[in-house]
Amino acid sequence: MTDQHRWDALGCTGDWVDTPNIDRLAAEGVRFANAYSNSPVCVPARVSLATGQYPHNTDVWHNQRHTLPPESPTWMRAIRDAGYATSVFGKTHLHPHLGDLREREHLLHAYGLDVVDEISGPRAATRSRTHMTQLWRDEGVYGAYKKDIKDRYDNKPWVVRPSPLPFELYSDVYVGQRAVKWLNAYGEDRPWFCWVSFGGPHEPWDTPEPFASRYDPADMPPPVEQVPDDHERPRGLLDEKLEQRPELSRDEIAALRADYAGNVALIDDQIGQVLKVVKKRHDLDNTVIAFVSDHGEMNGDHGLLYKQNFLNGAVRVPMIVRLAPDAAAATAGRVSDALVELMDLGPTLVDAVGGQPVEGSRARSLMPVIADPAREHREVALSELRREAMVANRDWKLATNPEGEVYLLYDLRADPQETRNLAGLPEYEDVQRDLTAHLQTVVEATR
């Protein structure tokens, strides 16, 4: 799992970053081309992933200080209950990134994870304690890290420069190598489950060498430009974000995209090292492997950075599920256009181990689609943020503000880059009415 990873930032989905190891998983499994986050921001997306419940169920609508109750049913616990030794290395964000995260490992155990080495996000790492930050302190680099983060966000948050951390202590390397170490040493009779949850390519744009200079900014795709509205319509969160846009130059956008691509390549390299250990253990042919992210990153599209909107750059995520080769030979390398949601990964993994369904989950296993990639999965995909809601099918995307007014409407066939907002135009009233009815039906059916 990655954090803030755009759907198109893979070799198999775009042409601006090389990811041979993730591409290998896609070639051996099924890639889901229309995967949407249940919320385009960390905490609600991750709570939905863990529980199979929407923000309108959990009441987690933004990056609030939320602790998932320890008694909450989760797919991780269902996997452990099925007889697996479970572990997590990296970020979960199922409780606040404040204080000493090591003192709250009991929460992760309750969620279903036996072995825990948790990290916080990049900014939160300056004000929280983890095994990783303790290592930084012991190695004498923690002060430089905190100073670098403060300088970035006191000035230009989108500044591009390598991290002051040595390569081997960079957070994504730390996470990958902790997983490698555990897998190398694992010797129990029980089958194992390992959640490798990288903190990148989440900003800041601080990829270390040799990956920082791997990509030329001149080779990066240009940002999507938005067509200004020429009609009246209701307003929503995206309008607020657009009004607060930073003044980004073309060169700055190209530079941050190149750095972002370098971070993705670094993570891909770590994934390759994890897969190498799985192969060394002779487990590769009987291991289910999934790849996903919690949400995307705008990276300059529409003049925006970060996430917290329903545009493609923020709300669409990469998703790949690779079963054991003998179980998936017939569909290996296929691409499914089915509408799927981030939280659908949980019941898929539970299905794969023969576990019991998670109580209260609204998520749906992808196993039928993996068996037949031409199969439909959902009529629409639903995402929610700050009491706004978005539904998308293959042709259209619609979003409503907290008052229930339609303020976004995009024709995804004619305008895949979402440059022209059609909300409020009389000629699209029927489309708005139909999608709004779908939205209401999904929300009511999942309360």
* Domains defined for the chain, CATH in brackets: 20-379 (3.40.720.10)
Choose among 381, 264, 237: nearest CA to 4. 264
**175: its two tokens:** 């996470």
Q: Could you give the CA distance from residue 150 to residue 377 in angstroms, rounded to a whole number?
A: 45
pTM, 2 dp: 0.97
What pLDDT does 330 receive? 84
C-alpha distances in Å from residue 319, one per residue of 24, 53, 336: 13, 19, 10
**CB distance 409 to 432 below 8 Å:** yes
Type of residue found at 219:
D
Per-residue confidence (pLDDT) for residue 324, from 0 to 100:
86
* Rounded CA separation 239/377 (Å): 31
Determine the pLDDT at residue 326. 76
Task: Of 335, 371, 373, 364, give the one whose Cα is nearest residue 445.
Answer: 364
- Confidence at residue 105, expressed as pLDDT on a 0 to 100 scale: 97
Q: Is 263 helix (H, G, I), strand (E, B) or coil?
A: helix
Regions of the chain short of the pLDDT cut 50: none
- On whether the CB atoms of residues 47 and 36 are closer than 8 A, the answer is no
Determine the pLDDT at residue 328. Answer: 73
Q: How far is it, in rounded angstroms, from Cα 138 to Cα 132? A: 10
User: Distance between alpha carbon 88 and the CA centroid of its chain, in Å?
Assistant: 16
